[in-house]
Structure 1
Amino acid sequence: MHVEQQRPALGSAFAPARTGEPGTALVDAVMSASFVVLLVAAMTRFLIRHPGAPDTPFVIALTAVLAVAYVLRPPGPAVGPPPRWTKVWLALFTAAWAALVVIAPSFAWSAVPIVYTALRLLGERAALTLVALLTVFVVVAQVRISGDDPLLILGPPAVAALASSVFVHMQRQSERQRGLIEDLIATREGLAASERRAGTLEERQRLSMEIHDTLAQGLSSQQMLLQAAERVWDVDPGAARGHVATASGIAERNLAEARRFVHDLAPADLADGGSLEQALRLVAERTTEQGVVTRFRTDGARMMLPARVEAALLRVAQGAVANVLEHAGASEATVTLTYLGDDVVLDIADNGRGFDPEAVGETPEAADSRRGHGLPAMEARLRQLEGRLTVESAVGDGTVVSAWVRVVEGP
C-alpha cells in the first residue's frame, strides 16, 4: 500500500537540499575549495601587510581551524530540518570567522561560502536573517579597509541579495520538482493498481464465461439426461442406459474442458490441431444426441482463422446450443459457418418457441441473462474481438443467433 509522505509548504519553511542529489556534491566541493583559497589569500595578505604582528600565530591557527572545520562541515539533511548540533556548529563557526574578520578585515571575502552553508542548514527566515547580518559585517569590514567607497558599501548587499534569491528560488524549484516526481510515482502506482484490478476482473469474467459455457452447460445437460433416464428406466432400460452413457460422455468432456481453461488453453475440441469446422460439427452431433436434431454446414471459401477467433466462435456456438436445449423447446437446429471475404459469421438457428427480444424480461432466456451469462457472455467474447452479436426471434417462430467477426483488418 502506498503511503504519501507529507511535504512542507513551499512558502512556509525552507527545504534544505538533499545530500546525494545530482550536482550537490560538486557544489560542496567547489565551496570548500573556494573557502580554503579565500582564507589562504586573506592570511597571505595579512602576513604581507602586518609582518611580525603579535596576533599572527592566532590568525594562522584560527585560519587553519576554520579551513578544516569548513571542509569537514556537516552535510545538509536528506529530509526535514537539520539536527540541532549542526546549528550549534554553524553558530560557533560564524563566531570564529567574525573574530578573524575583526582582527583582519580581509577575511570578509570568505563570507560567500558561509552564506551558502547557512542557506543549506537553516530555515529560510533564519538563513536570510543571518545572511543580512553577515552582509552588514562584510560592509563594515570593507569600509575599515577602503573607506567610504560606494561600491564596497552597496556591492555586498546587492551580491548577497542576488545570491540568496537565486539559491532560494532554485531550492523551491527543486522542491516543486520533487513534489511532481512523488505525484508521478503515486500516479504510476495508482495506475498499476488499477491495471491489476482490471486484470483480476477480466480474469474473473473469463473464468465465469468458461464455467458457464462448459461446466455449467454440461452439468445442465447431464441433469436433463439423467432425469430422462430415471423416467424411462423401468419402461425402456436400453434407452435409459443410452441417456446415462451420453451423460457420462458429457462429464468426460467437461473434465477435459475444466483442465484446459484452468491452464488457459484452447477449448478441448480445438486442441491437437482440430479445426473450427470439426469442432462445430462435434457440437452439432452432441446436440443431436441430446434430443435436438442439429445440422452443421459451411458456406463460402474457407480461410484460416486466428486461434482467438476460433475459440470465441466455438464458445458462442456451445452457449447458443445450450440455450436451445434448455430453453427453446426446439426439435431441430442448424449451425452455419459462413466465410464472407474478410469476415466470418456464425449462425445458430432453431425452430423452438422463440421469444420477443423487446420483452426479454418475460422469457427463460432473460432469466439466464440476469444471471450475467448466456447472451451477455457471448457479447462479451465478441466485443474482445471487436465483433458483434445479433439475436432475431419472435414468439412461436424460433430464434437465430448470429456472431460476426472481422478477420482481416481493413486498409
Structure 2
Amino acid sequence: MPSLRLVRLAVHGAFYVLLAIAAGPALAGTAPVAVLPPAAVLAAVYGLGIVRSARRPGPWLAAVTALWLLLLAMDHGFSYVAFPLFFLFLHAMPVRWAHPAVAAATAAVVAAQAGAPGGLTAAKVIGPVAGAVVAILTGYGYAALYRESRRRQQLIDDLLHTRDELAAAQREAGRLAERQRLAREIHDTLAQGLSSIVLLARAAETASPEAARARMREAGRTAADNLAEARRFVQALTPPALEEAPLPEALRRVTERTVPGAVFRLDGDPCALPMETEVALLRLTQEALANVARHARADHTAVTIAFLDGQVTLDVYDDGIGFTPGDGPADGRRTFGLHGMRERIAALGGTLTVESAPGEGTAIAAAVPVGSGARPREAAGEAAPAGPAARPRHTGAAA
C-alpha cells in the first residue's frame, strides 16, 4: 500500500539522516575520524538490506546492530541512531524478541550516555527510555495499519475476483439467452416452414396434376418466406409479415395461409404495440396454428386478438383431437413449442394458458400488458366475422 511504503521510506530516511548527523563532527574535524569507516560500512550494509529485502533478515539485522554498537562505543553521539533501529527491531523481529532487543538497545544508549561528559543524569535515562516507549507504541500503530491494509487489499482482491466471475456469468447468460432466442426463432419460422413444405410435397405426390402444381407453388412461396425470415432473424430485424402489414392483418394472413378455412377475429381498437410484443404474438400464432395443421385434425379453428384496456389478448382455439397438457409425444421426442411460447410471453410480463384434453380440442390463451402510451390505429383490413366454431375469447388468462 502507498501509505505503508511511505512509512518505511520515512524510517529509512530517518536512519540515514541521524547517521549523517552523528558522523558530522568527525567530518568537520571536531571528533575522531576513526568513526567514519564503520559509519560508511553501516550505511552500505543498511542500504544493501533495503535493496535486497531478504526473507530472513536475521543476519542483516545482526550486522547492522553490531556496527551500530561499535560506533556507539566509539562515540556516544551515535545514540540517536537507536531510534530508527527501534522500529527496525519491531518490524523485522517477532514480538518476543523485538521488545528485549529494544530494551537492550536502550540500555546500551544509557550506558554510552553515562560515559559522556557530565556523567549519568536523569535526562540521559528518561530520554532513551521515552524514545523506546514512543517507538513501541508507534510500532503497534504501524502494525495495526499494516493489518488493516492487508485486510483491505484482500477485500479488494476478493471484489476484483467477484467482478470477474460476475462478468463471466453475465457473458454466459448472454450466450444462453441468444441461444434460446435463436432456438425459438428457428422453431417458430424455419422448422414450421420446412414442415409445411414437407406436407405440401407429400400432398402433391397423390394429387391431380393441377392440384399438384398448386401445392408446389404454395411450397415455393413458403420456402421464399422462410428464406426471408432466416435472413431477418439472424440480424434480429422485424419479421417480413410485420414489415408488410400491421399486426392484425399479419395475423389474418398467417391464419388463412397456415390453416385454410380458419376464422380470424379482431376485437377492440388496434393500437401500436412494442415490436417485441408484436413479434411474440405473431410467433405464438404461427406455432399454435402449425400444431393445429400437423396434429389436431380439427374441423374448425379460430384465432382471436383483442385490444383491451391495459392489455392485449390472443386466443387460438381448435376442436381437434386435443391432448393432455404436460405429456410429451408418444415417440419420446423432445418438443420446444409450448416451452418457447411461455418463454416469449413471460419475457414480456404476460401470461399463457393452455387448455386441452383428449377429444376436447385445444385452447391457447395469452395476455400481455400494454403500456399507457399505446396509440390507437386503424387495422389494415376488416376482420372476418367469427364463425360458429369460434370459441369465446379468454380474457385475463393466466399461466
Q: Same fold (TM over 0.5)?
A: yes
What residue identity is the alignment partner of 1:59? V
The 1:106/1:130 distance shift into structure 2, 3 A limit, reads: farther
Residue 26 of structure 1 aligns with which residue?
Answer: 6
Provide Cα deviations, 1:31-82, integer angstroms capped at 9, x if missing partner.
Answer: 344234323443457899xx855xx1122454456557656763586xxxx3
Provide Cα deviations, 1:145-181, integer angstroms capped at 9, x if missing partner.
Answer: 1537463574344334323322222222222222222
The offset of 1:315, in angstroms, is 0.9
Residue 137 of structure 1 aligns with which residue?
Answer: 105
The offset of 1:106, in angstroms, is 3.3
CA RMSD in angstroms comes to 3.1
Alignment of 1:100-111 (within 5 A): 100-111=71-82
Is 1:405 the equivalent of 2:352?
no
Is 1:374 the equivalent of 2:349?
no
- Is 2:45–2:60's contact at 8 Å kept on the other side of the alignment? no
Is 1:38 the equivalent of 2:18?
yes
1:248 to 220, 232, 251: 220
Q: How far apart are the structure 2 equivalents of 1:76 and 1:156?
A: 29
| TM-score calculated relative to the size of structure 1 | 0.78
Is 1:323 the equivalent of 2:299?
no
- Is 1:131–1:160's contact at 8 Å kept on the other side of the alignment? no
Is 1:386 the equivalent of 2:349?
yes
- Is 2:320–2:362's contact at 8 Å kept on the other side of the alignment? yes
* Gaps in structure 1 of 5+ consecutive residues: 1-20
The offset of 1:245, in angstroms, is 1.4
The offset of 1:386, in angstroms, is 1.1
The 1:158/1:304 distance shift into structure 2, 3 A limit, reads: same
The offset of 1:22, in angstroms, is 1.9
Is 1:223 the equivalent of 2:225?
no
Is 1:93 the equivalent of 2:68?
no
Alignment of 1:238-317 (within 5 A): 238-271=210-243, 274-288=245-259, 292-317=260-285
The offset of 1:372, in angstroms, is 4.2
Residue 13 of structure 1 aligns with which residue?
Answer: none
The offset of 1:281, in angstroms, is 2.1
The 1:129/1:217 distance shift into structure 2, 3 A limit, reads: same
- Is 1:337–1:346's contact at 8 Å kept on the other side of the alignment? yes
Q: How far apart are the structure 2 equivalents of 1:214 and 1:186?
A: 42
- Is 1:135–1:160's contact at 8 Å kept on the other side of the alignment? no
The 1:93/1:300 distance shift into structure 2, 3 A limit, reads: same
Alignment of 1:112-261 (within 5 A): 112-117=83-88, 122=92, 125=94, 129-130=97-98, 132-145=100-113, 147=120, 149=122, 151-152=126-127, 154-232=129-207, 236-261=208-233
The offset of 1:91, in angstroms, is 4.1
Q: Secondary structure at the match of 1:23?
A: helix
Q: Secondary structure at the match of 1:296?
A: strand
What residue identity is the alignment partner of 1:279? A
The offset of 1:248, in angstroms, is 1.6
How many matched pairs?
366
| TM-score calculated relative to the size of structure 2 | 0.80
- Is 1:143–1:153's contact at 8 Å kept on the other side of the alignment? no
Q: How far apart are the structure 2 equivalents of 1:187 and 1:299?
A: 52
- Please identify runs of 4+ aligned residues in structure 1 that moved more than 6 A: 45-48
Q: Secondary structure at the match of 1:293?
A: coil
Residue 345 of structure 1 aligns with which residue?
Answer: 313
Q: Secondary structure at the match of 1:303?
A: coil
Q: How far apart are the structure 2 equivalents of 1:337 and 1:274?
A: 15
- Is 1:43–1:60's contact at 8 Å kept on the other side of the alignment? yes
What residue identity is the alignment partner of 2:365? S
Residue 390 of structure 2 aligns with which residue?
Answer: none
